[in-house]
Amino acid sequence: MLQTLFTVGGFSLGSYGVVVAISLLIGLGVAYYLASSEKEYRQHLIDLLLYAVIGAIIGARLWQVLFYEWEYYSLHLVESFMIWHGGMAIQGGLVGAFIVGWIYTRKYKLDFWKMADIAAPGIILGQGLGRIACFLNGDAFGSPTNQGFGLVYPPGTPAYDAYGSQPLWPAEVWEGQWDMIVFALILILPRWLKLPKGILFVSYIVLYSLGRFGLEFLRGDGARYLFNWTSAQWSSMGMIVIALISAAVLTLPRMTAKN
């Protein structure tokens, strides 16, 4: 774990922000490459990313405040705006970015689902790389393994503050690895199958959410609610349901046409 890359005078460069920035750039590069045959859409990717990042930050913070830690923030409303203190839910970030993407494509008369299919591989790759930031920062950690193996976080990290030197499940590492598997799958799927527009993006949502749902059973940094599920698990299930409904709507015209 390495929370700070280096310190010069009174300035410290945190690893979290650097890794996230690199992840965004690599994800953009992948999307830009995959859009080589879609020049009309390709020229919008950089502008769309800039707006989507703003939407993601707002969405991630709102999701964290409202669904993850409302019991605390309801009593400390001013702190809800202090994003520099940490507390950003990736699922809320995705929702915020998707809403911005929908508004952007509507404004420029682009097909949202087509743009979503182009962006999906870059998004999930960026998510996977972004989990390296969580590992270096010592957050998004797992619960104690109660065995003689696991990740042991150093003092000063959120994981150490929660569990001390107990070995923890490498939840954030495994999630990053799962994201890489999803990245590979959604690159391969179009080669195997002729997918209707939007289904690649929907497949990414379902696959990512299934992995996140399962790995949440190993997480040790969130409260649990009905069915002993975390907020992230409820969010994942909601995203799966919406994605499947979207898939049905997207494929229905094609099935009707065949009949």
259 has a pLDDT exceeding 60: no
Predicted confidence band at 66 (pLDDT cuts at 50, 70, 90)? confident
Mean pLDDT to the nearest integer, 146-170 = 92
Predicted confidence band at 253 (pLDDT cuts at 50, 70, 90)? low
257 has a pLDDT exceeding 60: no
Q: What is the mean pLDDT of the chain?
A: 90
Backbone angles phi, psi at 155, to 5 degrees: -60, 145
Per-residue pLDDT at 37:
86
Mean pLDDT to the nearest integer, 34-48 = 91
Q: Which residue has the higher pLDDT, 224 or 153?
A: 153
- Per-residue pLDDT of 223-239, as tens digits, reads 888 888 998 999 999 99
For the chain, counts of helices (H) and of strands (E) = 10, 2
Task: Check whether 131 is labelled as a binding-site residue.
Answer: yes
pTM, full prediction:
0.90
Beta bridge partners, 11, equal 8
SS3 4: strand
Q: Which residue has the higher pLDDT, 148 or 131?
A: 131
- Per-residue pLDDT of 80-109, as tens digits, reads 877 766 678 889 999 999 999 999 999 999
Q: Which residue has the higher pLDDT, 53 or 2?
A: 53
Residues in the chain: 259
Backbone angles phi, psi at 221, to 5 degrees: -120, 20
Mean pLDDT to the nearest integer, 119-123 = 95
Question: Percent helix, strand, coil in the chain (nearest 5)?
Answer: 70, 5, 25
Mean pLDDT to the nearest integer, 45-65 = 92
Of all residues in the chain, the percent with pLDDT exceeding 90 is 63
SS3 153: coil
Mean pLDDT to the nearest integer, 202-214 = 96
Per-residue pLDDT at 113:
95
Distance CA 46, CA 146 (A): 46
Backbone angles phi, psi at 225, to 5 degrees: -125, -140
Distance CA 207, CA 229 (A): 18
Distance CA 108, CA 142 (A): 43
1 has a pLDDT exceeding 80: no
Contacting residues for 12 by C-beta, under 8 A, at least 6 apart:
4, 6
